[in-house]
Structure 1
Amino acid sequence: MILWFTLVQVGVAVVAALLCVVLGLAGRRPSDLTVGALALIEVLLIAQIVVALIAPFAGNPPSGSLLEYWVYLVPAALLPPAGVAWALLERSKWSTVIMGVAAAAVAVMVWRMHVIWTVQIG
């Protein structure tokens, strides 16, 4: 994984999580802003999938378990669409909070993927 890209992903996910949770607790229903924040997270995760496919061939193999890395990456890529789908089906302030929780989970998962890729000795 690329450190600066990991930091960007984690930063965007944390900001989106805070935004969604604060707006949800303030009583706001899902909007273009909150759904767009999760869409941005999804675009970054799709880019991460591309990077993960190319990196081993470019001389950046993982030092940890590649299977464990993908077991984190695939569900992380499924969380934002699931959160948005929930928000669009149940348009309440709590669905906005749920989108924030999904974004926070993605932030943690992306950091864990970075640890698996760079720190562990396989």
Structure 2
Amino acid sequence: MDGPLPLVLLAASLLLALVVLVYVALDRTPDWGLLGFAAVIEAATLVLIVVAAFQVGGADLSGPSAITVFGYLVAGLVLLPIGFAWSLAERSRGATAVLMIAALAQAFIVVRAVAVWTA
């Protein structure tokens, strides 16, 4: 996972969490703009999985490390849709905060995947 994509994905996830924090402070529910932003992050995560799959052959990853990296990335792929579905289903300030937690967890997963990759 060389290159700027993991850093861009990390920054986008943290920016989404910050934007959702503003939504929580203003007591707003998620809208199409947040859904689009989350979709871009999901697409970037999918691209990162494909890039990692191509690079795993040339990397010095053993079986368990590769499984761990892909496990983190697949978990990151499902976090935002679950958080978004929850925030749309309940329509409360707390449910919108769940989307913020999902975005922060997405950022953490990217950091962990890169840490396992470089270790």
State whether TM-score is above 0.5.
yes
State the identity %: 34
Shift of 1:74: 1.4
In structure 1, stretches of 5+ residues that fail to align are none
Aligned to 2:39: 39
Whichever residue aligns with residue 83 of structure 2, its letter is G
Structure 1 consecutive aligned stretches of length 4 or more whose deviation exceeds 3 Å: 60-64
Note the alpha carbon deviations across 1:32-90, whole angstroms, 9 max, x for none.
12222221211111111111211123x23437811221221111111011011112211
1:1-122 residue pairs with structure 2 within 5 A?
A: 1-57=1-57, 59-62=58-61, 65-118=65-118, 120=119
- Tell me the distance in 2 between the aligned counterparts of 1:73 and 1:16: 18
Whichever residue aligns with residue 5 of structure 1, its letter is L
- Tell me the distance in 2 between the aligned counterparts of 1:106 and 1:73: 9
Indicate if the aligned counterparts of 2:73 and 2:113 stay in contact, CA closer than 8 A: yes
The alignment's TM-score, normalised by the length of structure 2, stands at 0.89
Aligned-partner SS, 2:61: coil
Whichever residue aligns with residue 79 of structure 1, its letter is L
Indicate if the aligned counterparts of 1:29 and 1:91 stay in contact, CA closer than 8 A: yes
- Tell me the distance in 1 between the aligned counterparts of 2:108 and 2:30: 23
In structure 2, stretches of 5+ residues that fail to align are none
Alignment length (residue pairs)? 118
